[in-house]
Structure 1
Amino acid sequence: MSGARLAPSPATSAADAGNAGSTAAAAAPGRRGRIVGRAVVIALLLGIALLSGRFIVSNPDLGGVLNPRSPGPTGAKALAQLVRDKDVDVQITRSRRDAASALSSDATLVLTDPYPLSDEAVRALLDRADRVVLLSSSARMLRLLRLGEDAPGAGGEVSAGCRPAEFDRVGTIDATRMFLPATDSEGCFADESGAAALLRSTADGRTVSLLEGTRLLSNDALAQRGNAALGIALLAQEPRVVWYVPNLADGDISSGETTLGDLTPEWVTPALLLLLLAGLAAVWWRGRRFGPLVAESLPVTVRASETMQGRARLTARAADAAHAAEPIRAGTIARLAARLGLGPRSSVEEVADAASDRVGVPRTSLYDLLGGAPPHDDRELIALARRLAELEDAVGNTIRIERNRP
């Protein structure tokens, strides 16, 4: 009856249950993989955001240049150790208040260009010291201390040539920056033009020495010429050295809390947060489409003959006789090679030679037929196909298969 339904057999029900179970088991790892993939992407985005925030709020550490604790090429740890070897107590601090409280009449204040300090803070610190040595300089410090100004030229090899006795044993140095001393300042290590590598002032009972020692007193240059003797002559004249290392956190110009948000317009931070949220939403929305490919059977089966006919129609519609002749020749050569006992990778010449021996046709004509110029139009294509078919028939007629008789 048409209205009756056939009950599924036990074997069919068991097979369906097994297929459903395997499908569910196969789908479970896929879902777990998608969840894990989403979690990994979200973790990466959050890590990038946290890392970016760390870079934004952190301040650059510029104390590596002539830093007495730095063993790097641009540090000054070697110079600090040489000064200690002269029985001089070296106290290193990164706080200007600690440096000011540690100064006394028997101490030398050593520092590089105090870039984070304002002019008032620099004067307040220098006024507490009777002896000051600046290991690097800037135009601001030259103006503030009234020691002189920059001199043109690149410097060179110079010797002391000044009154302080501590510089007599220094010898020569290779200066990289020269200065023109002011009227109440003295220039040491001067060249013929009067420009000096070191400026020295003893006004108001305070001795101030200034030079550009970045390439003279650093760790990698201390062993050259008289650089080490120059550093000892500057720093080892008093029993104590208070070495102040400037840093942004201790400055009164920059608060040390500047972030990228403070330097950009107000709409940048909300825009970045909105883009981050949009990226997370896109990952959650489109992430469900990610996963392994699922193999599915095609709804129909396409026969080889239909494919061949479809390609033939396309070739005929394109009117490309040369392209259509290539598979015809290739098929003929493959079939002739099989009939003549040749390998599947035999060349056109080998097939033509074997066919010529079998049917008695000149080799040159078979060379042209199997591998010659392609046809230019449909008429030549039809003629070529007819000749190839005749060649196959001729070769087939020469083959005699002998049957075993009982």
Structure 2
Amino acid sequence: MTATIPGSSVHDTPTVPAPSRRRRIGAWIAIGVALLVVGGVGGAISAANQWAAHEALDPESAGPTGTRALAEVLRSHGVEVRVERSRAAAAADLAGAPATLVLPDSPALSDDAVAELVDAATDVVLVEPRSRTLELLLPGSAMAGVAPGDAVDPGCEVAEAERSGAISPGALYTPGPDAVGCYGVDGGSGLLVQDDGGHRIAAVDGGALFTNEHLADDGNAALAANLMGRHPLVVWYVPSTADTDLAGTDPTLGQLTPPWVSPVIVLLLIAGVAAGVWRGRRFGPLVAERLPVTVRASETTEGRARLYARAHDPLHAADRLRLGTLRRLAALLGLSANAAAGDISDAAAGRLGADRTAVRGILLDDIPRSDADLVALSTRLRDMEDAVHAAVRPERSPR
């Protein structure tokens, strides 16, 4: 005969849940897929941004920010448009005959390279000038904000602007001492023109006026054709970083970041690896331990007896004995497990034909005052249980 530790079950033995290998593999696969999706989305966004920047003011692009429509308008007026992505090729085209150079902002070129291209052209149209280009080619001119968006009349004596009519200029510029400003708004001008007789330079926000999505607005197309169609050849230079003449244009990440960033990154990587080794170390699969431990009934009984004896509480020990007897009597008498103790006592008395008060005293009311009383009560409980057993099952001998 065996027993288990209280509150446990021999038949339903719980085990330590071992981690599922399939679940771990699935989790890592899910993490990998999530990283790939995030990387793919980020790469697509980055590529889209780079492509949009590449197409901006490109005369071969039909996108919203390209200028293919303007190139076709010029060609329809008999003007040859050559798109050059090499500074050397653009300079060679400009050296052959009078031509107009269309020059976007070129941060990859040095001041000397920009000046060399501009000097080779008869006319120059700056379609995306910045402060550096303005100061270099239109001394004294500067950026002056952005126009609110309403159409503005030329307000100057530049013939090309007067023939074009009103436009809605984007960026505004402050004209230098040798430049004429047109389309004035709040102290700035949407068009700057500097003409010294044989060489003319114009500056205008081509991104707001000459792109495919804005060319048909107001007098934008007319202004573009008038500024760029003064000569039979237009050389449209499309700058790129590959055409740079600057040295050391590819700084490393360490050069772009403060000096303390690299040591901090290394320290964080070391801390991450150490934390992974500390928290993730495993010397083998987890061992499933069968719990609870099964012990012999005699050991459990003796252990409880010693605890009750040490506590000097015979009443508590008597209650435990009575509970066991009542539970077994209920089973013998065919009563439910939830039957009241008084009902079990009355049923036992009726089965034995004994006095109900005496039976109730043994099963419920008698209070042991000492260990001797407890032993005597234990004997009476055992005798009563044997008697009921014999009365219910007379064919079997009492235990």
Q: TM-score, normalised by structure 2?
A: 0.53
Q: Is the 8 A contact 2:94 2:121 kept in 1?
A: yes
User: Which of 137, 140, 144 is the aligned partner of 2:132?
Assistant: 140
Q: Deviations over 1:15-38 (max 9, x none)?
A: xxxxxxxxxxxx9x9778868977
Q: Deviations over 1:210-255 (max 9, x none)?
A: 1123212222222211111111222223222221223334334574
Give unpaired runs (5+ residues) of structure 2: 1-17, 296-399
The answer for the alignment partner of 2:103 in structure 1 is: 111
The answer for the alignment partner of 1:92 in structure 2 is: 83
Cα offset, 1:166, TM superposition: 3.9
The answer for the alignment partner of 1:257 in structure 2 is: 250
The answer for the alignment partner of 1:380 in structure 2 is: none
Cα offset, 1:65, TM superposition: 3.2
Cα offset, 1:201, TM superposition: 1.8
Cα offset, 1:112, TM superposition: 1.6
* Residues 1:131 and 2:123 aligned together: yes
- State the distance in 1 between where 2:130 and 2:61 align: 22
Partner of 1:158, secondary structure, is: coil
The answer for the alignment partner of 1:175 in structure 2 is: 169
Partner of 2:151, secondary structure, is: strand
Cα offset, 1:127, TM superposition: 1.1
- State the distance in 1 between where 2:154 and 2:237 align: 26
* Residues 1:233 and 2:222 aligned together: no
Q: Deviations over 1:40-83 (max 9, x none)?
A: 9899999999x99xx99xx9674443233444433323323322
Q: TM-score, normalised by structure 1?
A: 0.52
Q: Is the 8 A contact 2:99 2:234 kept in 1?
A: yes
If asked which structure has higher relative contact order (CA below 8 Å, sep 6+), I would say 2
Q: Deviations over 1:289-332 (max 9, x none)?
A: 59999875422479xxxxxxxxxxxxxxxxxxxxxxxxxxxxxx
Q: Percent identity?
A: 45
- State the distance in 2 between where 1:86 and 1:272 align: 59
Partner of 2:74, secondary structure, is: helix
The answer for the alignment partner of 1:196 in structure 2 is: 189
Cα offset, 1:136, TM superposition: 1.9
- State the distance in 2 between where 1:279 and 1:48 align: 22
Shift of the 45–169 alpha-carbon distance from structure 1 to 2, 3 Å rule, reads closer
Q: Deviations over 1:134-185 (max 9, x none)?
A: 0122222222223553457846432335555444441210123333434433
Q: Deviations over 1:339-381 (max 9, x none)?
A: xxxxxxxxxxxxxxxxxxxxxxxxxxxxxxxxxxxxxxxxxxx
- State the distance in 2 between where 1:293 and 1:272 align: 35
Partner of 2:152, secondary structure, is: strand
Q: Is the 8 A contact 2:123 2:199 kept in 1?
A: yes
Which amino acid letter does the alignment assign opposite residue 181 of structure 1?
Answer: P
- State the distance in 1 between where 2:60 and 2:267 align: 44
Q: Aligned residue pairs: how many?
A: 270
Q: Deviations over 1:235-294 (max 9, x none)?
A: 223222221223334334574422322212556446535644664575567556599998
Shift of the 279–94 alpha-carbon distance from structure 1 to 2, 3 Å rule, reads farther
Give unpaired runs (5+ residues) of structure 1: 1-26, 303-406
- State the distance in 2 between where 1:277 and 1:43 align: 26
- State the distance in 2 between where 1:284 and 1:78 align: 61
Q: Any runs of at least 4 consecutive aligned residues in structure 1 with deviations exceeding 6 A, and if so which? A: 29-49, 290-295
Partner of 2:120, secondary structure, is: coil
Shift of the 154–46 alpha-carbon distance from structure 1 to 2, 3 Å rule, reads closer
What value does the CA root-mean-square deviation take over the aligned residues?
4.7
Which amino acid letter does the alignment assign opposite residue 120 of structure 2?
Answer: R
Cα offset, 1:126, TM superposition: 0.9
- State the distance in 2 between where 1:73 and 1:45 align: 32
- State the distance in 1 between where 2:273 and 2:83 align: 49
The answer for the alignment partner of 1:158 in structure 2 is: 152
Q: How does 1:325-404 map to 2 (within 5 A)?
A: none
The answer for the alignment partner of 1:377 in structure 2 is: none
- State the distance in 1 between where 2:168 and 2:32 align: 57
Shift of the 64–292 alpha-carbon distance from structure 1 to 2, 3 Å rule, reads farther
- State the distance in 1 between where 2:252 and 2:164 align: 46
* Residues 1:210 and 2:203 aligned together: yes
Q: Deviations over 1:87-106 (max 9, x none)?
A: 33322233322222221333
Which amino acid letter does the alignment assign opposite residue 247 of structure 1?
Answer: S
